[in-house]
Amino acid sequence: MSVLDDGSLKHPPESAVDQRWKFLVFYLCFYGFMTQIRPGESFITPYLLGADKNFTTEEVTNEITPVLSYSYMAVLVPIFLLTDYLRYKPVLVLQSLSHISIWLLLIFGTSILAMQFMEFFYGITMAARVAYSSYIFSLVTPSHYQRMASYSRSAVLMGVFTSSVLGQLCVTVGGVPFVTLNYVSLGFMLFGLILTLFLEQPKRSLFFNQSGAPAPSELDRMHPVGDKPVPPAPSHWRSSALFRMLRELGTITKLPQLRLWSLWWIFNSAGYYLMLYYVQLLWNEIYPTTDNRKVYNGGVDAASTLLGAITAFTAGYVKIRWALWSELVIGGVTAFQAGLLLLMSTTSNIWLCYGAYILFRGSYQFLVPIAIFQIATSLSKELCALVFGVNTFFATVLKTIITMIISDKRGLGLSVHPQFYVYFAYFTLLAVVYLGAAVCVAVTHRRRKVPQEPAFAKELGSPAEEAPGKERSSEPGSVHI
């Protein structure tokens, strides 16, 4: 607000700002919701194995599905950079076109090569999700970041839930063929493309299109320069925000909590998505029905999405000393997931397999917001986005290596049941490492605590014993960055 000549205050037209904020929230959330309405997605595997396409289980497991991991790794970095350089909207258009290509190939493709291209476009859509999640940071003011991120994420989850329920109702109650669901999904994707065209083009982005002077780096915030001599002006590419963030990555990896949760993000998300890619094939082996009405993939996806949303919401209210308990929590959840994978690998009851899958996804979604908070709590939004991008890239590389070894026909070419035994062993190994680290942290904490007990007892003395006029810190030993 500005001060007039008579000393009165002139307020900005807040109503127009509020209306614009509400419109941006509504349109982006509506777009995120509608682009998730793909009722045929939960039934892609039974559709490929059924009479419509008639592919064999070996072809889907060892030739078609592995392409998804390869394409995702190939396009992840280029799309991450193009998203910021082109300011989001063109990449969202590319994502919509790729969605349309997926369903066109599913409907009209008949060869393995066509299905491999379908998986290639699916990898593009997954890599382009970063455009939607980071789009909000360029449209609204920093005071609205948290609320906007919450709204947009909720819209996506509601879209996935609605899509899964719609698909299951169409199959079970309406007896709708899988190919018809694919046509419905194609129609929604065409509508999503239209919505994409009306998205606002941001004028700035996080790295390449910053307006005004570049923001101070993370290291500058932690260690003010003072009266040090000013170095010579660097070249343009060295002074870019992206280059400065890359230089700072090596320093922030020394932060214990950031390092721990980044490693969790890399190793556990790789195993999580591998399970997600192949679980429909496992269900088909456990319960190979030809009656589409008895395929409950959509209902299971809806239940797992709902439980994931509930556990993610609950995680926001968990208040513990994460510096002390992080390894134990991660190890406990990972051990629980290993047990669920063993149950899924050994059971012949489809309902037990469904239940284990729902709990697996819910437990993973419980840790995701905790990891986001632990990584992002002391970083700028630019550096935070770069850290998550790097973590996702390494997770994708690891996932691709595992796929090449155990799934691809040029590797071991394992069928789906042996693959799930491998995933069980993988999560068991992770759980052992995490729990071992938790023991080390507990022992170290105990050793540090013992010498401090006399000092702590002294701190509990009467305030009258303190020197007069001396201020006591409200948080002894705390560090403020």
Q: pLDDT digits over 290-304, tens only?
A: 777 888 999 999 999
Give CA–CA dist 65/115, Å, rounded: 9
CA dihedral sign of residues 165, 167, 169, 171? negative
User: Which pLDDT score, from 0 to 100, does residue 133 have?
Assistant: 76
Alpha-carbon distance of 27 to 277, in angstroms, equals 31
Query: At 394, which amino acid appears?
Result: F
Q: Mind listing the pLDDT tens digit for each residue in 204-214?
A: 666 666 554 44
pLDDT at 242: 59
Instruction: State the greatest distance between any 2 C-alpha atoms of the chain, in Å, as a whole number.
Output: 87
Domains, the chain, ranges and CATH? 18-202 (1.20.1250.20), 250-450 (1.20.1250.20)
Q: What is the 3-state secondary structure (H, E, C) of 267-312?
A: HHHHHHHHHHHHHHHHHHHHCCCCCHHHCCHHHHHHHHHHHHHHHH
d(C-alpha 5, C-alpha 38), whole Å: 59
Which of the residues in the chain have pLDDT under 70? 1-19, 21, 137-147, 204-246, 248-250, 378, 380-382, 449-481
**Which pLDDT value is given to residue 256?**
82
Q: Are the CB atoms for 417 and 282 separated by under 8 Å?
A: yes
Tokens representing 55 are: 């592919």
| Residue-wise pLDDT tens digits, 3-53 | 444 444 444 455 565 667 678 778 888 998 999 999 999 999 999 998 889
- So what's the pLDDT on residue 6? 46
Note the pLDDT of residue 204.
Answer: 65
| Contact predicate 93/131, CB 8 Å | no
The model's pLDDT over 53-94, given as tens digits with 9 standing for 90+, comes to: 989 999 999 999 999 999 999 999 898 888 878 878 899 999
Q: How many residues does the chain have?
A: 481
Name the residue type at position 452. Q
The dihedral over CA atoms of 273, 274, 275, 281, expressed in degrees to the nearest 10, equals 120
Residue 315 confidence (pLDDT):
81
What is the pLDDT at residue 240? 56
Tokens found for residue 394:
């390494």
384, two tokens? 């935070």
Residue 128 identity: A
